[in-house]
Amino acid sequence: MKLLRFGPAGRERAGLLDDQGRLRDLSGTVADIDGRALSPDGLARLRDLDPSSLPEVEGEPRLGPCVGAVGKLICVGLNYAKHAAESGVEPPREPVLFAKATSAIVGANDDIMLPENSTKMDWEVELGVVIGRRARHVPEAEALEHVAGYCVVNDVSERAAQLEGTGQWIKGKSFDTFGPLGPWLVTADEVPGPQALDVFCEVEGTRYQDSNTADMIFPVAHLVHYISRHLTLLPGDVIATGTPSGVGMGLKPQRFLKAGDKVRLGISGLGEQRQTVVPFKV
């Protein structure tokens, strides 16, 4: 299934994309695409539905973040071998974790906003893993049983805030609009191999990131296992699993986002995002 949320920001409704690519309204069945709907029981209920029986949504409404009421957005740094190399660091011996504020989350095609006085705003296409079952001290062999589905994430970053001055990753990663999710969540049963997905990101028509999740240092199963040893993952939590090489900071010369830039990114089978960079405003 492809589950999504549509409508004005803050007033999104639950929906799904049927096999013909038609948007169907799920709001009469579930209140939101959140932890409750993404639990094993919630997904089983949705699978029992006949999509053709659901109201078809007319037009092309805005797509909101594909997961509502995200409790935690946990990110993994330096998780692609070539990205670690372009960053000038040794591959980590264990996953590098940080958090991104959930207030940064926006829809897949919403504008992304330059922070005030930003000088080094960067792009990072990532595979998002959405938790569907409570995970605490989960064995790696059972880790994928706790995954409800997958989505595209743009882990937008402001490198000066992240790495210069006091240098705090959460600070450089959590500006408003820095967490586009979607366009939809594809349930795990339709993504049998999360380590064999093509990943790309283009800025102004130039492809800078072009990789595959096979280049991950720590695969999805290990990440769920590892993170669950340090904190409890709950249904509706999202893990952004790291970005491949080709970020602006790693280019020579470096290239950062500016107002007016158009960004296009996607993952095979999970859809694409398209964003425009807009100037800062309060």
Mean pLDDT for the chain? 97
pTM assigned to the model: 0.97
Dist CA 108 CA 102 (whole Å): 15
Q: What is the pLDDT of residues 28-57, one digit of tens each?
A: 999 999 999 999 999 999 999 999 999 999
Q: What is the pLDDT of residues 229-251, one digit of tens each?
A: 999 999 999 999 999 999 999 99
pLDDT at 86: 84
pLDDT at 173: 98
Residue 241 is which amino acid?
T
Question: How far is the CA of 213 from the CAs of 136, 142, 190, 254, in angstroms?
Answer: 25, 20, 16, 24
- Please state the rounded mean pLDDT for residues 179-203: 97
- Please state the rounded mean pLDDT for residues 180-209: 97
The answer on pLDDT for 142 being more than 90 is yes
Q: What is the pLDDT of residues 75-126, one digit of tens each?
A: 999 999 888 888 888 889 999 999 999 999 999 999 999 999 999 999 999 9
CB 180 within 8 A of CB 100: no
- Please state the rounded mean pLDDT for residues 154-169: 95
Tell me, rounded to whole angstroms, the distance of Cα 121 from its chain centroid.
18
Domain ranges of the chain: 68-278
pLDDT at 167: 87
User: What percent of the chain has a predicted confidence (pLDDT) above 70?
Assistant: 100
Superfamily of domain 68-278: Fumarylacetoacetase-like, C-terminal domain (3.90.850.10)
pLDDT at 168: 93
Report which secondary-structure segment, H or E, holds 84. helix 81-86
Dist CA 275 CA 185 (whole Å): 18
User: What single-letter DSSP state applies at residue 127?
Assistant: E
Dist CA 217 CA 91 (whole Å): 8
The answer on pLDDT for 192 being more than 90 is no
